[in-house]
Amino acid sequence: MPRLLFETAGREASRRLKKARAMLEQGESENYYAEVLKALTEYLEHKLRTPKATFVLEDALIQLRNRNVSNEVIQLLKSCLEQVEFIRYAPASDTTEKRKELLDNAAKAIDGIERMFGKRSAA
């Protein structure tokens, strides 16, 4: 059975994060951040069916909220993306702990979205 991108988005994102972890261990920090950024944005594009050209992070986060993704998960995702952006322009604040934390947070955020997306809220 062929799968839609919407359905494979989660798996694809975890695959990219795993790749990013390998890069981290080899010390390729440039590629590592690019990979994490790609994992997150591509995941959102596929999950929300937004073409790359019209993808705006703010809109994406609003859509996630409309689809019953909890605020904590959205904040986690936002902080991950901010961290990636920030370190790109201020490499001085980069530490190995922060990189590892970023990976865990990104995985957690994607996992949270996968679980809550489109489901009725527990409340």
Partner 1 sequence: MSRFQWLMITACLLFILQNSFAQTPDDVFTRGNELYRAGKYQEAIREYDRILKQGIASAEVYFNLGNAHYRNEQLAQAILAYERASQLRPNDPDIEHNLKLVYLKTIDRLEPLPEMFLIQWIRTIGSLVSTDTVRMSFFISWILLFVSLALMYLVLRSEIIRIARFVFFASLISVVIWAVMMGFQTFQETSHDKAIITSHTVTAKSSPDLKSVDAFVIHEGVKVRVTDAVGDWVKITLVDGKVGWILIEQCERI
The residue count for binding partner 1 (CB under 8 A) is 10
How many of the other CB atoms lie within 10 Å of CB of 25? 9
Euclidean distance between the first and the last CA atom of the chain, given in angstroms as a whole number: 35
122 near partner 1, judged by CB under 8 A: no
117 near partner 1, judged by CB under 8 A: yes
Residue 7 or 59 having the CB closest to partner 1: 7
118 near partner 1, judged by CB under 8 A: yes
Structure-derived torsion over alpha carbons of residues 12, 70, 104, 3, reported in degrees to the nearest 10: -10
Among 18, 19, 38, 67, binds partner 1 (CB under 8 A): 67
Among 4, 53, 56, 123, binds partner 1 (CB under 8 A): 4
- Nearest approach in angstroms of CB 46 to partner 1 is 10
Q: Report the run of H or E that residue 51 belongs to, with start and end.
A: none
Residue 91 or 118 having the CB closest to partner 1: 118
CB 78 within 8 A of CB 38: no
Which residues between 10 and 49 bind partner 1 (CB under 8 A)? Answer: 47-49
Residue 6 or 86 having the CB closest to partner 1: 6
Output the six-digit token pair for 73: 């998960």
How many of the other CB atoms lie within 10 Å of CB of 107? 18
CB 24 within 8 A of CB 103: yes
Question: Which residues make up the interface to partner 1 (CB under 8 A)?
Answer: 1, 4, 6-7, 47-49, 67, 117-118
